[in-house]
Structure 1
Amino acid sequence: MADEGTAKQRERVRESVRIEFVPKEKMPDGCRVVPLMVDGALVWGVLENEMTNELRMDFNSLLDYIMTCGLYRQNWTEGEMPPVHPR
């Protein structure tokens, strides 16, 4: 049982979610927010100047908290995953 708990804890550590700013030229037309996969993490791409950096940092702290507590879990199948970030 302890091994199962440790495995689940390691799995949660690998999962991550955060908000990043995306320049207009990399954002799909008409979008201010898009979900993206970046190195296995869910990244909410927010159009630059649509959110303050202070608010982004506050959200990222809250997202980190819900990940650490296990309140959020990524559970996608291959067809449901967000698109990969266009770097």
Structure 2
Amino acid sequence: MALSEGESLTPAHVRLRGVLMKLGLDESVVEIFDRYEVKGKLGHLIRQGVYLEMLPTPVRNFKATTEWLTNEIFEQFVKT
């Protein structure tokens, strides 16, 4: 935007809150504030929750949360 307006560029300062990485169907790793690392199923649940919260509208958030919970519950019945 600065270039298009003829202004000088300023450096960006980015502070990451963490890293989320999917490792498989039900496996993920989450690194929070470069201090804590959570792996496995708990990491997967944290990753899914963060992505659901980042959806742009409450309607999409509700729809995706409902679908995800349905899949998680159905998967538990199939495994048993």
TM-score, structure 1 length as denominator? 0.31
The higher-RCO structure (CA 8 Å, 6+ apart) is 1
Structure of greater Rg: 2
Quick check: which one's strand share is greater?
Answer: 1
